[in-house]
Chain A
Amino acid sequence: MLSGQTDYRELVQEDRVSGRLYYDPAIFEEELEKIWYRDWIYVAHESEIPEPGDYVTRLIGLQPVIVSRDEDRNIHLLLNRCMHRGNTVCQSERGSAHAFRCAYHGWTYNNRGALVGVPYAAGYDGSFSREEYALARVPRMATYRGLIFGSMSVSGPALEERLGNAARLIDQFIDLAPSGEVTLRSGVLKHSFRGNWKMALENSVDGYHPNILHHAAMMLITRGRKVDMEAVFGEHTDALARDLGNGSAQLDLTPINRERGGRVVPHGWSAAAWEQYLGAMEQRYGADRAREIIQVGGPHFCIFPNIIFILNQFRVIQPVSVDETVIYYYPTMLKGAPAEMNQRRLAETYLIHGPAGRVAPDDFEAYERNQEGFRARANEWLVLRRGMHREKSESAGAIAGHETDETTQRGIWRHYREVMQT
C-alpha cells in the first residue's frame, strides 16, 4: 500500500490495533517520516562525551549522526555523511577527535562540522567554497538534565513541552544521585531481535505480563526475601498504569514503594554505603526531601518513541527495519554515590536485564513470538481493552488505570494515531 493511503483511524482503534502496524514495510517507512524524522528523538547523554573532542555516533531513525563536543565544550549534532560523495565520515561508535576525515577521498571536517580542507584542491575552481560544504546539522537539538535529544524537523514543539509530564519523572530518576547527575560511562549491552520496535516500547510499560512471562525469574529473584510479587504486579496491587500523554507512559509503583521503600539499587548493600549515601543526599536536598526521594525510588516509564527508564537503566530502542530492532541497555551511575552502590547498579544490568540476564531474554522471546504470530492472518487484531472500564482521568491530561491494565498501551497508540494520521 502506498504511503498516504493508510487510514490509521481504522488500524488504531480505542480497544484494539491491527497487526499490520507491526509488519507492513510501507507503514514502517511512513513511521520514519512522521515519527523518527519529525519528533524529538533521544540520541545520547552528555556524560558519554565528557571531554572536548569526544564524540559518539548514533542513528536518528535510520539516519547516521555524530554527537560531538568541541573545544569550547559545546555539543554538536551533525549528520554523518560526507558532503562530497555521501560516505559516513565516522565509523567508530565512540572516540576522541577534533577533526574527522572521510576515508574515501580525504575530505576533512572539524568537530563543529566545518570543512577544513580537501585533497588536490587545485581540481576545484574559484567558485568552490568550503563554507558551502560543512557537514549538515540535525535541525534542532535540545537537552534536559543531560539527556540530548535531536529533531530532524525545523519546527515543532519545544523539547520541554514535548516531554510534558515525563519531565518530572526524568527528574525523579536523576534526583537519586547525590550530585544531581547520572553518568553513562559503564558501557552498553546491545540486544537485537526479529520484531517491530513498537512492541518493545509497549512492553516497557506493560504491567500485565511480569508475573506471567517472568514468573520463573521472579521466583528466583524474590526467593528468600519473601517479596509478594502478587502485591507488586498482581491483581491486588495498588500500583498504577498511567498514560502520561504524548505517547509517554508509566508504571507507577509509588504506593508500594511508600510502604516498603523504593529501589535505589538491588538489595543487600552494606550499612556503611547506605549511611554514606544518605548523608550525601541529606547534604544536597535536606533531610526530609532526601528521605522522600529515597523512599519513592526510581520511576518506571517510557518516552515516545525511543527511550525507556527501568530500574537503573536507560534503554534505547533502535529500529532497523519493520521486523528488526536493537535495544541498547545503558546502566546509569549515580554521581556522588558510594562506589559500592554503583557497582551493584552495574551488576544489576547484566544479571537481570542484559541479553544473558534473568528477565530480558523472556521479553525478547515474546517479541519474536509476536512477530511470528502476525504471519497468521485469520484475525488481524491485537486486543487492548483491558481496564477500559476502570481507568480515571487525572490532572495535566494523564489517565491512570490499574497496574495490570492496558491504559499505558492505549496512551501510546492514541498518540501514534494522532501523529500518523496527520
Chain B
Amino acid sequence: MNGRRADGEKLRLVSEFAAVEVACDERGNGPRLMIRDLQSGRSVLLDPLELSALTAARHEELQPFLDPARLESKNGRR
C-alpha cells in the first residue's frame, strides 16, 4: 500500500519511539483510517469494523505487533 494517497487531512503523531501520519482515506467504497509509518513508509488501512474491534482490545493484546521480529518477517527489514 506504500505510495497511495490518502484524501483526508493528515494528522502527524510523533513520540520518541515512532512517527506516524493518520488520515481518513476515501478512495474505496467506504471510509478507512490510513496509518502511515513515517520511518519505514509502511502503511495500513483499517475499516470501521476493524477500528471498532480495536476499541475492545487491551494494549497488551497489541504487544505481539510491537515485537521487532514481526517487522522483519513482514518487510524483510526493520
At the interface, yes or no: A388 with Cβ under 8 Å from chain B? no
Q: Which residues of A contact B70 (CB under 8 A)?
A: 117
Q: Which residues of A contact B16 (CB under 8 A)?
A: 90-92, 95, 97
- Given A90-B16, A92-B16, A97-B15, residue A120 in contact with residue B59 (CB < 8 A): no
Q: Which residues of A contact B63 (CB under 8 A)?
A: 99, 110, 116
At the interface, yes or no: A318 with Cβ under 8 Å from chain B? no
* B78 with A106: CB separation less than 8 A: yes
At the interface, yes or no: B9 with Cβ under 8 Å from chain A? no
At the interface, yes or no: A83 with Cβ under 8 Å from chain B? no
* B62 with A119: CB separation less than 8 A: no
* A118 with B69: CB separation less than 8 A: yes
* B68 with A97: CB separation less than 8 A: no
Top-8 shortest CB links A-B:
A117-B67, A119-B68, A98-B59, A106-B68, A92-B16, A121-B69, A71-B59, A99-B66
* B72 with A120: CB separation less than 8 A: yes
Task: Report how far A97 CA is from B15 CA in the complex, Å.
Answer: 8
The range of chain B's interface size is 10 to 19
Pick the contact of B17 from A99, A119, A120 — CB < 8 Å?
A: A99
Most buried by B among A92, A96, A107, A108: A108
Can you list 18 A-B contacts (CB < 8 A)?
Answer: A91-B16, A95-B16, A97-B15, A98-B59, A101-B66, A101-B68, A106-B68, A107-B68, A108-B66, A108-B67, A108-B68, A110-B59, A110-B66, A116-B66, A117-B66, A117-B70, A118-B68, A120-B72
Q: Which residues of B contact A119 (CB under 8 A)?
A: 68-69, 71-72, 78
Contact with B along A80-101 (1 / 0, CB 8 A): 0000000000111001111111
Closest to A112 in B: B60
Q: Which residues of B contact A98 (CB under 8 A)?
A: 59, 62
Residues of B within 8 A of A (CB): 15-17, 58-60, 62-63, 66-72, 78
Least Cβ–Cβ distance between A111 and chain B, in angstroms:
8
At the interface, yes or no: A355 with Cβ under 8 Å from chain B? no
Closest to A110 in B: B63
Chain A residues numbered 43-95 whose CB sits less than 8 Å from any CB in chain B: 52-53, 71, 90-92, 95
* A117 with B15: CB separation less than 8 A: no
Chain A residues numbered 100-140 whose CB sits less than 8 Å from any CB in chain B: 100-101, 106-108, 110, 116-121
Least Cβ–Cβ distance between B56 and chain A, in angstroms:
13
Closest to B18 in A: A101
Most buried by B among A71, A96, A117: A117
Task: Report how far A70 CA is from B70 CA in the complex, Å.
Answer: 23
Q: Which residues of B contact A118 (CB under 8 A)?
A: 68-69
* B15 with A95: CB separation less than 8 A: yes
Task: Report how far A34 CA is from B6 CA in the complex, Å.
Answer: 58
Most buried by B among A53, A118, A119: A119
Q: Which residues of B contact A95 (CB under 8 A)?
A: 15-16
Task: Report how far A108 CA is from B71 CA in the complex, Å.
Answer: 12
Closest to A99 in B: B66
Task: Report how far A53 CA is from B60 CA in the complex, Å.
Answer: 11
Task: Report how far A96 CA is from B78 CA in the complex, Å.
Answer: 23
* B69 with A100: CB separation less than 8 A: no
Task: Report how far A71 CA is from B58 CA in the complex, Å.
Answer: 8
Pick the contact of A71 from B60, B69, B71, B78 — CB < 8 Å?
A: B60
Least Cβ–Cβ distance between A100 and chain B, in angstroms:
7
Task: Report how far A343 CA is from B67 CA in the complex, Å.
Answer: 44
* B69 with A120: CB separation less than 8 A: yes
Least Cβ–Cβ distance between B57 and chain A, in angstroms:
10
Task: Report how far A100 CA is from B68 CA in the complex, Å.
Answer: 12
* A117 with B69: CB separation less than 8 A: yes
Q: Which residues of B contact A110 (CB under 8 A)?
A: 59-60, 63, 66
* A116 with B67: CB separation less than 8 A: yes
